[in-house]
Amino acid sequence: MADQMVLARPAGGDEWLRDARRARALSLVTLAWLGAESVLGLAAGLGSHSVALIGWGTSSLVEAAASLVVVWRFTGSRTHSAGAEDRARKAVAVSFWLLAPYLLVHVAHDLDAGHRAVPSPLGIAVTAAALVGMPLLGRAKRRLGARLHSAATTGEGTQNLLCALMAAGVLAGLALNGAGWWWADPAVAVLLAAVAVREGRRAWRGHSCCH
């Protein structure tokens, strides 16, 4: 049965298992990071009426799901299970699709209510930290994923890189909004929704996101 399919351990099994433990440890570190990032991003977004910041903070929860998947993937007998990876991949895809309509509804509500994003020092600080830190985590996980032959680990790494790209987009939106271009913030939020739909589709089909 598919759930009982097992991936053969590559040659040099001890090194492979060490890499698996490293992947799990990096995912646990990422979970702590994303928890703080999500709370601070949402607080900054709600305080400044920034739908882009709110969307970015919410997207951190999507990334956290991917990190949980890798922890789950490399725990116990699931370490070599192809069936477990397939189920995890589809769960991550669904989480992307849940994010997109939330962003669009929030944009529509704020535009209808006449809300305009205001400058957010906290939002700038949190997104700037992600812009620096997430590429480091993402590249490390992609290297581990290649050595482990693990699409789940590689996918989590590319999601971290996507987080950095989103952070850059949110920072740009906040800067443009501060210059009087009020439409930049909702435009970035709509772009994030489109990215979420695309990456959810790619994840469902088994492709790594954000090449």
Q: What is the pLDDT of residues 93-147, one digit of tens each?
A: 777 787 778 778 767 766 766 666 666 788 889 989 999 999 999 999 999 988 9
Q: Which amino acid is at 86?
A: D
Burial label for 4, CB within 10 Å (0-12, 13-18, 19+), is exposed
Specify the CATH number for the domain of residue 73: 1.20.1510
| Residue 123 included in any domain | yes
| The two structure tokens encoding residue 60 | 């951190």
Residue 69 host element (H or E): helix 51-73
Indicate whether 41 pLDDT > 50.
Answer: yes
Give the pLDDT band of residue 152 (cuts 50, 70, 90).
confident
Q: What is the DSSP letter of 79?
A: G
| Residue 211 included in any domain | no
**Is pLDDT larger for residue 47 or for residue 118?**
47
pLDDT at 54: 84
Backbone angles phi, psi at 150, to 5 degrees: -115, 110
| Residue 138 included in any domain | yes
State pTM to two decimals: 0.72
| Residue 49 included in any domain | yes
pLDDT at 117: 63
CA distances from 60 to 2, 155, 200 (A): 31, 15, 15
| Residue 3 included in any domain | no
Would the CA dihedral through 170, 128, 139, 75 be positive or negative?
A: negative
- Are 32 and 168 in contact, with CB atoms under 8 Å apart? no
d(CA 70, CA 31): 11
| Residue 54 included in any domain | yes
pLDDT at 3: 41
pLDDT at 32: 94
- Report how far apart the first and last C-alpha atoms of the chain are (Å, whole number): 32
Indicate whether 205 pLDDT > 60.
Answer: yes
- Are 172 and 184 in contact, with CB atoms under 8 Å apart? yes
Give the pLDDT band of residue 10 (cuts 50, 70, 90).
very low
Angle at 94 between CA 132 and CA 40, to 5 degrees: 35
Which residue range forms the structural domain that includes residue 85? 12-205
Most confident by average pLDDT, 8-12, 34-38, 75-79, 179-183: 34-38
Provide the domain count of the chain: 1
Cβ within 8 Å of residue 179, ≥6 positions away: none
